[in-house]
Amino acid sequence: MPSSARRRRSVAERFWTKVNRGAPEDCWTWNRSRNSHGYGQFKVLSGASPQKASRFAWVLTHGPIPGDLIVCHRCDNPPCCNPGHLFLGTHADNSADMIAKGRQRFGDPSALGERVRRLSDEEIHEARRLHCAGQSSRTIARRFGVHHTTIVRLANGRHWSNFPTEREPA
């Protein structure tokens, strides 16, 4: 067929050719470019910025996404584009879903209501004292149930700057 007579594929047809579709209950994996977090990327127009493939799958299937909502995955599989695995929610909804499934990087999933481990004044002073005495930030962090970067920032005055930093004994 001459090139002038070839039918141009629609954006939707072009999109779905890049997805490994299976049974309705299966993840439908994006098989092209992915971002650094593993989410599929799709360019609607040449030269345009890519958008998440899961967002585009939602729009093709369900229509526009209200401005304050994001597309979340029930399957927790970033390259999945199966509309049955996607739902709309806020960032808070997505975070609550992550915590409910025990997928957060740090912290105890049973402490859903407690966002941040609070250190008492005594713990701050003790953590700084231990750090000045040469104890590693990871060891101190484990003792107080916080992330080691919290101890590093505490020790260098970036956190709790209202507390004077301890100086190495002379």
Q: Are the C-beta atoms of 51 and 42 separated by less than 8 Å?
A: yes
pLDDT top residue among 2 and 97: 97
Which class is domain 3-100?
alpha beta
Tokens 């002379």: give the residue: 170
pTM given for the model: 0.58
pLDDT digits 0-9 by tens, 14-42: 999 999 999 999 999 999 999 988 999 99
- pLDDT confidence bin for 100, thresholds 50/70/90: confident
pLDDT digits 0-9 by tens, 103-140: 766 555 444 444 445 678 788 888 888 988 999 888 88
pLDDT at 159: 58
pLDDT digits 0-9 by tens, 50-75: 999 999 999 999 999 998 899 999 98
Report the percent of the chain where pLDDT is more than 90: 39
SS (H, E, C) 24-65: CCCCCEECCCECCCCCEEECCCCCCCCEEHHHHHHHHHHCCC
Q: Which residues contact 53 (CB under 8 A, 6 or more apart)?
A: 15, 18, 19, 30, 32, 39, 40, 41, 42, 79, 81
Handedness of CA 19, 22, 25, 29 (dihedral sign): negative
Instruction: Check pLDDT > 80 for residue 164.
Output: no
